[in-house]
Structure 1
Amino acid sequence: MVTDSEGAIHRFDACGAVTVGEPVFPHGQPAQYVSVVHTADGRILLATLAGHRVRCVDARTGARVDDRERPWHVRATRLTGAALPDGRTLLLAATDEGLERLDLATGEILPLGAGPVDLYDVTVARLPDGRVLAAGAGYDGDVHRWDAATGERLGPPMPGHSPALRAIATATRPDGNLTIISGDETGALRRWDGATGSPVSAPQRTAAETLTGLTVLTRADNRQVLVGCCDSGLLHQWDPHTGEVLRAPLPVLARADVLQAFLDPAGRPAALVLGENPDDSHGDLIAVRCDLETGVEPDDLLPQTACAVYVDVGRTMLVLGEPDGSLVVRPW
């Protein structure tokens, strides 16, 4: 793996053996969060957050999308992309003042049709009528819904959790409708109809402690799995529609935080998790690659500050934020 100390992105060939092209310098300091953004015109961008600033680069070429470093004027915790039907691509951020929307083509921070709300997580999904939903997990215990294109609220906030929400995900039901799944600091899950905001289920107590990440994976056999990580460092797997436990929890990291689930190159369900190293008293962050059926292999511990994964033309690509400030893109 090639790295340097100035925040460089290094791109590797398909074998992962040699660097292709010149390094790109997103920030000059370690990235705190990396989000993979699939644009409306078919590009794959890496949006990196460092401090209050975000910068986007093309994952395939290493080229910066532009030379502007976008300042968030508030604290952002999560980023996600939204490709809209009108051809625009927005970058959405969960912040301590609500949902921020950034037009990646113009650099404009777009208005939001609602008052401030403290968000920890945000996810996007398409509703049956074609609109793109942005759903946020609020520290106030409410789920919040917006039309990603217009910034207008889709109904009032949805209360149902007494403690703060820390994680949110979506799943498509067999009838084609969308379900929002929220997870809180007690480990409870709740499901909501994405279009109407109506509760689909009562709060579900789980074996998880504070839920810090949720994501839905579609397996090779088209079954959906809700994967969650928690403060106790375990990965949990449920049926996203019924809440049924699908597998015993897998130990991964102390205080697991960032979570992505995907199919590895062999088609097996896997997860990429960022959290604290259980063998390090300083609480340094590491990323682990986990087979969702067998668990973590010891040689998959990767010291990182941020991580992400995506699939490009059948190849699974790993994005790793190194402690020295470099950002590395390589095949899985």
Structure 2
Amino acid sequence: MGVRQLMGQEIARFSSGFGHVVRSVLGVGQDGQPLLFTSVPNGSDVSCWDIRTGGRVWCDNEGMSGCNDRALMRLPDGGLRLACATEDGVEWWDALTGRRRPEMTWEEQTIWALTGGVLPDGHPILLGAGHNGKMYRWDAVSGDLLGTSPSHADRGSMMAVGFVSFPGHAGVVVSGDDDGRIWRWNPVNGDQMGEPIEGHGCQVDIIRGLPVPGKPLFVSSDQEGVLKRWNAVTGAPIGSAVETGSDVFSLATASVGGVPVLFAAGADETVRAWDANTGEPIDLRLRSAVVSALTQPDGTALVATSTPQGEIAVHTYSPLTRG
């Protein structure tokens, strides 16, 4: 049996209007159709794109103090919230209309990374990794600050944050700092869970929850492009570390035909993929410095990439085959 392959086809290609890589996140509109949201590092542009036409749905070029990360959260009324992490804090939008929400702006600390989460009662929250070493929690509906993790004298800057959800549990917030440590938090009250994990030998850049049914797993990536999988409840490592050989700029996850897939892209402009449950490599022929992914209701997955020239491509991938 050969290495499993992801077989896909390009369904859209269009220019972002910028001559450099743009970061993206995939979401779903109220009509069930996928949308692509992009931002640029200097914070000068945030846009929403119709994948079917390649046209902008909306664009906000009012500007902000940089865009370190972005996150989408589904609201109880069916709406969609977009948040961007800035040098000053967090900016918010109604993602479907492009309406900026200045009354929700939070400006107290540089936030390096964001992710969405859901409380046990179904209420959406935003989670942030702060330069001051704290993990932040905001109400995704109102933008109100719900709380932070406790101060810690021996904690450096938080650089990454992820949320792990699984049945019968409130979930776990996971953050990584610039000393390579991984911290776990209760999403309801912000209390620390267990001791920090000495996860990496250098700064933790990205953390993502893994969509493995019934298993509370997440993946972390450091400045040297080393990927490690962990159990969020016990803090135990899962399998062997993966050395990509390149700086990793983005991680994304999706389920393809029921198989949880982890995607990584970075400095060498090579998109790599693994079975998120077993760690088995998956053959994928895509070139890009960044990647985002979205599971579709029919069991396929959308994967969006951006070239160094700012050209966006979207592919659809079907269940895996053996090569």
TM-score scaled by length of structure 2 = 0.84
| One-letter amino acid of the counterpart of residue 237, structure 2 | V
Equivalent position of 2:130 in the other structure:
138
Shift of 1:110: 3.0
Aligned residue for 1:76, secondary structure, equals: coil
Deviations 1:262-287 (A, max 9, x none): 3334x44432112222xxxxxxx443
Instruction: Tell me the equivalent position of 1:270.
Output: 261
Q: Alpha carbons of 1:108 and 1:207: their partners in 2 closer, same or farther (altered >3 Å)?
A: closer
Change (3 A) 1:156 1:320: closer
Equivalent position of 1:124 in the other structure: 116
Give the counterpart of 1:258 among 238, 250, 255.
250
Unaligned stretches of 5+ residues in structure 1: 1-13, 278-284
Further displaced range: 147-156 or 205-214: 205-214
Query: Counterpart of 1:9?
Result: none
Contact map agreement 2:16 2:310 (CA 8 A) in 1? no
Using the TM superposition, name which of 177-186 and 166-175 deviates more: 166-175
1:100 CA displacement: 1.0
User: Is this contact kept in 2: 1:173–1:241, CA < 8 A?
Assistant: no
Q: Residue 14 of structure 2 contacts residue 311 of structure 2 at CA under 8 Å; is this kept in 1? A: no
Partner of 2:20: 30
Structure 1 runs of 4+ off > 4 angstroms? 294-297, 299-302
Q: Residue 209 in 1 paired to residue 211 in 2?
A: no
How many residues are aligned here? 305
- Corresponding residue to 1:103 among 90, 94, 98: 94
Secondary structure of 2:162's counterpart equals strand
Corresponding residue of 1:311: 295
CA RMSD of superposed structures (Å): 2.6
- Identical aligned pairs, as a percentage? 22
| One-letter identity of the residue aligned with 2:82 | L
Q: Is the 8 A contact 1:290 1:296 kept in 2?
A: yes
Q: Is the 8 A contact 2:149 2:191 kept in 1?
A: no
Shift of residue 120, structure 1, vs aligned partner = 0.8
Give 3-state SS (helix, strand or coil) of 1:253's partner: coil
In the alignment, residue 229 of structure 1 is paired with which amino acid?
Answer: S
Q: Does 1:329 align with 2:314?
A: yes
Q: Does 1:219 align with 2:212?
A: yes
- 37-46 or 75-84: bigger deviation: 37-46
Is the Cα–Cα contact under 8 Å of residues 103 and 110 in structure 1 kept in the other structure?
no
The one of the two structures with greater contact order (alpha-carbon pairs below 8 A, sep at least 6) is 2
Change over 3 Å in CA distance of 1:106–1:33 after alignment to 2: closer
Letter in 1 for 2:211: T
**Distance in 2, Cα, partners of 1:168 & 1:291:** 21
Conserved? CA contact 2:83–2:93, under 8 Å? yes
**Is the alpha carbon distance of 1:113 and 1:101 closer, same or farther for their aligned partners in structure 2, counting shifts above 3 Å?**
closer
The offset of 1:132, in angstroms, is: 1.2
Distance 1:62 1:158 in 2: 45
Deviates more, 1:39-48 or 1:183-192: 39-48
Instruction: Work out whether residues 16 and 22 of structure 2, in 8 Å CA contact, stay in contact via their aligned partners in 1.
Output: no
Instruction: Give the TM-score normalised by the residue count of structure 1.
Output: 0.82
Consecutive unaligned residues of structure 2, counting only runs of 5 or more, are 1-6, 318-323
Q: 1:328 to 1:129 in 2, by over 3 A?
A: same
Q: 1:39 to 1:141 in 2, by over 3 A?
A: farther
Deviations 1:193-221 (A, max 9, x none): 1111111222121245311111111325x
State how far apart, in whole Å, the 2-side matches of 1:302 and 1:296 are: 14
With over 3 angstroms needed to count, the CA separation of the structure-2 counterparts of 1:294 and 1:90, relative to structure 1, is: closer
Per-residue CA deviations over 1:294-320 (Å, capped at 9, x if unaligned) read 5556x7474424221112232112211
